[in-house]
């Protein structure tokens, strides 16, 4: 298994290009199942999660080709052969469940494995099921699989979600595009990836309004057609690399970054003493002066502070002046990076969903282990700021969500290399 060796090396300077959003691409790809005509995505990120979604769509009979070094994904679902998403693929990646809504809408049936426990919490699918049932689907759990049917077709309905789940919003919106009549989804998630999905669905002929607000209205249509769509910038990759000059010093420009994608995160950085300014090509980040100050963080659905940046923010707080409290409200059990950071000399106490971090003058390099995607990159950030060498093992987690991490960080002066394992 490969690992990544990072050596603390002082300030970082230069530019980092930000890729298309993994989480947007993972919901845009299943949208191909809604139409017989081709759907082409540009600005796709080159990630193992995208390969997993490719394999899943191919297992359903979709044609999926990766062009231009993976940045373009051309898909066609004119000849689907299966409506079953197998456990073998779903267990690798929870986002596999996003085929449920589209399959049900187009074929009136779908069989999708439940994802099972995942390292950052239980992550059930009850909100997806409730929403699709409101549209008239009948869903049963058998042998670990959700068996969904809508023999008479889906019908528009008014439905209020108990919690603004991102995936459930995506599944329900996709399903409603082909339902008969109007669907009003209340307490919908407002994430930029949902706005991106709706923009793509609209290009395919869907009639949707209200995306980006908590009420989305979908007027069902008989069929959707082909489209080409550019994937939105990855706000989590953006936020992660914004932390690089914050934790190491220097000044880095994030190409393709937009303030509207990271407003609450940038506000926290500002309060911590890190300036974020818009440039013609993206966002520029630098410390305002000296050491970063401790700030408290509570993770919330968009537009709040994203849970997917909590681990990386914790790495910054480990070296900040003062004590910060990080409260994780989206997932239970999402502090597995904390004991690894402690191995690097951090001072962190975790009680339930709250971590109290007292900043230290300097972290020390150590061998550490990545436990999930965002945790792994938080350890790399910590390694960049630490004295000596840090080896992060199990980097397959990183490959799920960060393309060319070594190249991007080397480009701004970091000392980082990938060590090939057996
Ligand atoms: C998406 C993102 C993930 C991000 C998360 C929250 C993708 C591919 N992944 O995940 O990176 O961390 O949003 O911003 O876009 N829940 C239920 N029942 C359900 C569905 C969810 O209880 O039916 C719970 C989950 O267990 C979790 C919380 O709701 O505690 C948030 O989940 P959700 O918003 O659905 O996240 P995902 O779509 O899985």
Q: What is the pLDDT of residues 196-205, one digit of tens each?
A: 999 999 999 9
Active site residue 118: yes
Report the C-alpha gap between 47 and 22 in whole angstroms.
8
Is 18:234 a contact under the CB 8 Å cutoff? yes
Is 153:179 a contact under the CB 8 Å cutoff? yes
| pLDDT over 90 at 121, yes or no | no
pLDDT (tens digit, 9 = 90+) per residue, 310-340? 999 999 999 999 999 999 999 988 999 999 9
Pocket test for ligand 1, best of 165, 185, 311, 402 (most atoms within 8 A of CB): 165
Q: For 320, list phi and psi in degrees, rounded to 5.
A: -80, 165
Is 113 a pocket residue for ligand 1 (Cβ < 6 Å)? no
Is 400 a pocket residue for ligand 1 (Cβ < 6 Å)? no
Give the percent of the chain with pLDDT over 70.
Answer: 98
pLDDT at 85: 95
Is 95 a pocket residue for ligand 1 (Cβ < 6 Å)? yes
Query: Two tokens at 268?
Result: 């926290």
Mean pLDDT computed over 331-356: 95
**Of residues 5, 3, 4, 6, the one with CA closest to residue 248:** 6
254-286 burial string, b = 16+ CB within 10 Å, else e?
A: bbbbbeebbeebbebbeebbbbbeeeeebbbbb
Is 166 a pocket residue for ligand 1 (Cβ < 6 Å)? yes
Pocket test for ligand 1, best of 96, 118, 119, 167 (most atoms within 8 A of CB): 167
Q: What is the DSSP letter of 92?
A: T
Is 30:57 a contact under the CB 8 Å cutoff? yes
| pLDDT over 70 at 65, yes or no | yes
Take atom 15 of ligand 1 and give the residue whose Cα is closest.
Answer: 23
Is 374 a pocket residue for ligand 1 (Cβ < 6 Å)? no
Is 344:368 a contact under the CB 8 Å cutoff? yes
Q: For 306, list phi and psi in degrees, rounded to 5.
A: -70, 135
Q: How far is the CA of 173 from the centre of ligand 1 (A)?
A: 15
Take atom 26 of ligand 1 and give the residue whose Cα is closest.
Answer: 123
Mean pLDDT computed over 144-158: 95
Atom of ligand 1 nearest to the CA of 22: 8
Q: How far is the CA of 332 from the centre of ligand 1 (A)?
A: 11
> How do strand 354-358 and strand 12-17 relate by DSSP bridges?
unpaired
CATH 3.65.10.10 fits 3-19+233-419, yes or no: yes
From residue 126, alpha-carbon distances to 36, 106, 228 in Å are 29, 21, 32
Instruction: Select which of 118, 200, 248, 318 is catalytic.
Output: 118
Report the C-alpha gap between 293 and 104 in whole angstroms.
50
From residue 132, alpha-carbon distances to 173, 175, 258 in Å are 10, 8, 34
Is 112 a pocket residue for ligand 1 (Cβ < 6 Å)? no
Q: For 375, list phi and psi in degrees, rounded to 5.
A: -60, -40
Mean pLDDT computed over 242-266: 98
Is 124 a pocket residue for ligand 1 (Cβ < 6 Å)? yes
Q: What's the length of the chain?
A: 422
| pLDDT over 90 at 371, yes or no | no
| pLDDT over 60 at 373, yes or no | yes
Take atom 1 of ligand 1 and give the residue whose Cα is closest.
Answer: 166
Q: What number of helices (H) and strands (E) belong to the chain?
A: 14, 24
CATH of domain 22-230: 3.65.10.10
Report the C-alpha gap between 81 and 77 in whole angstroms.
9
**Rounded to an integer, what is the distance from CA 223 to the centroid of its chain?**
29
pLDDT at 152: 87
The sheet with strand 323-327 has its strands ordered as: 297-298, 323-327, 354-358, 347-351
Is 196 a pocket residue for ligand 1 (Cβ < 6 Å)? no
pLDDT at 204: 98
Start and end residues for every CATH 3.65.10.10 domain found in the chain: 3-19+233-419, 22-230
Atom of ligand 1 nearest to the CA of 306: 14
Is 121 a pocket residue for ligand 1 (Cβ < 6 Å)? yes
pTM of the model: 0.97
| pLDDT over 90 at 124, yes or no | no
Q: What is the DSSP letter of 293?
A: B
Q: How far is the CA of 414 from the centre of ligand 1 (A)?
A: 33
């Amino acid at each position: 298994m490969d690992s990544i060796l990072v050596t603390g090396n002082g300030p970082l300077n230069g530019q980092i290009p930000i890729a298309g959003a993994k989480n947007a691409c993972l919901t845009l790809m299943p949208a191909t199942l809604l139409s017989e005509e081709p759907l082409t995505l540009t600005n796709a990120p080159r990630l193992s999660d995208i390969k997993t979604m490719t394999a899943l769509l191919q297992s359903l009979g979709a044609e999926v080709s990766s062009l231009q070094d993976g940045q373009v994904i051309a898909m066609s679902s004119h000849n689907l052969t299966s409506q079953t998403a197998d456990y073998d693929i779903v267990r690798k990646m929870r986002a596999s469940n996003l085929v449920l809504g589209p399959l049900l809408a187009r074929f009136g049936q779908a069989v999708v494995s439940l994802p099972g426990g995942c390292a950052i919490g239980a992550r059930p699918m009850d909100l997806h099921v409730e929403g699709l049932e409101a549209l008239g689907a009948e869903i049963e759990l058998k042998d670990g699989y959700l068996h969904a049917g809508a023999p008479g077709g889906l019908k528009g309905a008014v439905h209020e979600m108990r919690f603004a789940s991102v995936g459930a919003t995506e599944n329900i919106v996709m399903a409603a595009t082909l339902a008969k009549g109007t669907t009003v989804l209340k307490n919908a998630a407002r994430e930029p990836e949902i706005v991106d999905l709706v923009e793509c669905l609209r290009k395919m002929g869907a009639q949707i309004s209200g995306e980006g607000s908590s009420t989305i209205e979908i007027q069902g249509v008989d069929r959707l057609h082909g489209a080409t769509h550019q994937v939105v910038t990855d706000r989590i990759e953006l936020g992660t690399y914004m932390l690089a000059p914050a934790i190491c010093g220097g000044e880095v420009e994030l190409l393709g970054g937009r303030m509207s994608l990271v407003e609450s995160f940038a506000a926290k950085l500002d309060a911590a003493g890190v300036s974020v300014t818009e440039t013609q090509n993206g966002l520029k980040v630098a410390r305002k002066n000296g050491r970063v100050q401790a700030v408290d963080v509570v993770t919330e659905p968009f537009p709040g502070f994203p849970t997917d940046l909590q681990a990386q923010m914790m790495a910054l707080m480990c070296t900040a002046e003062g004590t910060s409290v990080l409260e994780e409200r989206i997932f239970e059990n999402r502090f597995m990076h904390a004991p690894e950071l402690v191995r690097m000399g951090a001072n962190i106490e975790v009680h339930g969903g709250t971590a109290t971090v007292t900043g230290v003058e300097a972290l020390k390099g150590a061998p550490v282990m990545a436990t999930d995607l965002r945790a792994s990159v938080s350890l790399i950030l910590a390694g960049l700021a630490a004295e000596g060498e840090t080896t992060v093992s199990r980097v397959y987690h990183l490959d799920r969500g960060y393309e060319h991490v070594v190249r991007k960080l080397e480009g701004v002066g970091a000392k980082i290399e990938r060590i090939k394992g057996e």
